[in-house]
């Protein structure tokens, strides 16, 4: 996402970020995993993932160009010197040597921001729990819809995850007019702070505890119809994508292109860790507590991790003012805005003279 900021600027990154989330569904693995579990040997689970992973990496390697400005300039300068041997053109970082200390500082920055920056820490915790919840569904659906529930086969339980899929697209439908309105406001010259990117999340995030609250009453199996848990799963899926999109979008806006990669890196680290940990506790929790009590536990946790969204939306400017990263980015933006304004004024003056 930090790369998108450098390529597109903050004004246009929102819709691109949202579209990227819509086409990167973790739930597709669960939908396809049901038939694989039911009809194929367990080794095929790994062979299929290996084939898909190698294919994606090959496509990425062959089609995605270099986008970092300094590297592109270095290559252009080297090409220029090769074409014109007497040329003295050099790239901005051709002779720059990065020390081990600098490398460790850059590599450690995501973890430092995760611990020391309240915005990164709390929003990553929310995003990580939401992601872990989706991955826990991949296993918990076997308890909810399996032999003790509605008697679904693995294939049918996998297809039930389409409810989350629908929820993802519902979030995209909800956010499209929000993004469009913000872009129109910016075109009219209105300055929107980073917190504007959390305005819709304040309401959509409530669908996460609401979905779990409703699920706790309907996951007990027959005589209730099996469609009821899936209706609440749509709300959970909608909240999941909205949380991922809005927290990333906000951190990119708050920390700019310089530190946004580190901030979103901390977010990604939290999501991966919590999603991985959920595989250890989901099965034992559902076996020991049962599907209803387990859902109540998840509801209680979701209610807590959603609270920081409201605090950050209200007091975000004060929190960012105490951050050396966000404060530095804000100063750079103000200086760049002043330079652009001076350039526009000078151009207008020259046109008037002419």
DSSP 291-338: HHHHHHHHHHHHHHHHHHHHHHHHHHHHHHHT-HHHHHHHHHHHHHHH
Residue 255 confidence (pLDDT): 84
**What does the pLDDT look like over 337-350, one tens digit per residue?**
676 677 777 777 76
Considering all CA atoms of the chain, what is the largest pairwise distance in Å, rounded to the nearest integer? 84
Mean pLDDT check: name the lowest of 10-19, 52-61, 115-124, 202-211. Answer: 10-19
**What does the pLDDT look like over 296-322, one tens digit per residue?**
999 999 999 999 999 999 999 899 888
Distance CA 140, CA 137 (A): 5
Distance CA 341, CA 17 (A): 29
pLDDT exceeds 70 at position 17: no
* Token pair of 158 as six digits: 């996998």
Residues 6 or more apart from 273 whose CB is under 8 A from it?
Answer: 128
Sign of torsion over alpha carbons 221, 223, 227, 230: negative
Compute the chain's Rg from CA coordinates.
Answer: 24
* Token pair of 216 as six digits: 């706790």
**pTM attached to this predicted model:** 0.84
- Which domains, from first to last, does the chain contain? 2-40+107-322 (1.20.1250.20)
**What does the pLDDT look like over 84-100, one tens digit per residue?**
888 888 888 888 787 88
Angle of the 118-145 helix axis to the 227-321 helix axis, nearest 10: 170
Residues 6 or more apart from 353 whose CB is under 8 A from it?
Answer: none
99 DSSP assignment: -
CB atoms within 10 A of CB 292: 14
Integer angstrom CA distances of residue 94 from 7, 97, 132: 22, 8, 43
The angle at the Cα of 73, spanning 91 to 263, to the nearest 5 degrees, equals 105
Highest mean pLDDT among 171-185, 246-260, 306-320: 306-320
């Amino acid at each position: 996402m930090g790369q998108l900021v450098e390529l597109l600027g903050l004004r246009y990154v929102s819709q691109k970020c949202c579209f990227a989330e819509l086409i990167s569904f973790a739930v597709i693995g669960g939908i396809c995993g049901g038939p694989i579990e039911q009809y194929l040997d367990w080794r095929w689970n790994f062979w299929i993932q290996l084939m898909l992973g190698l294919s994606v990496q090959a496509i990425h390697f062959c089609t995605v160009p270099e986008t970092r400005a300094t590297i592109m300039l270095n290559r252009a300068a080297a090409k220029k010197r090769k074409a014109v041997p007497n040329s003295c053109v050099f790239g901005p970082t051709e002779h720059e040597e990065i020390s081990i200390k600098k490398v460790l500082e850059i590599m450690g920055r995501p973890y430092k921001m995760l611990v020391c920056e309240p915005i990164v820490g709390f929003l990553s915790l929310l995003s990580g729990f939401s992601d872990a919840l989706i991955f826990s569904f991949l296993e918990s659906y076997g308890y909810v819809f399996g032999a003790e529930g509605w008697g679904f086969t693995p294939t049918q339980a996998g297809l039930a995850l389409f409810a989350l899929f629908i929820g993802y697209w519902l979030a995209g439908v909800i956010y499209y007019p929000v993004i469009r309105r913000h872009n129109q406001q910016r075109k009219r010259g209105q300055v929107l702070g980073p917190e504007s990117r959390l305005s819709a999340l304040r309401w959509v995030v409530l669908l996460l505890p609401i979905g779990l609250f409703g699920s706790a009453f309907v996951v007990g199996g027959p005589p209730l119809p099996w469609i009821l848990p899936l209706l609440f799963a749509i709300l959970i899926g909608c909240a999941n994508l909205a949380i991922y999109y809005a927290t990333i979008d906000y951190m990119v806006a708050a920390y700019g292109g310089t530190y946004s990669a580190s901030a979103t890196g901390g977010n990604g680290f939290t999501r991966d860790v919590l999603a991985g940990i959920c595989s250890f506790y989901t099965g034992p929790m559902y076996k020991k507590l049962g599907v209803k009590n387990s859902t109540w536990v998840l509801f209680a946790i979701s209610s807590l991790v959603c609270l920081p969204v409201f605090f950050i939306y209200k007091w975000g400017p004060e929190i960012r003012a105490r951050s050396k990263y966000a404060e530095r980015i804000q100063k750079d933006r103000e200086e760049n805005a002043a330079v652009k304004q001076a350039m526009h004024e000078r151009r207008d003056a020259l046109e008037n003279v002419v």
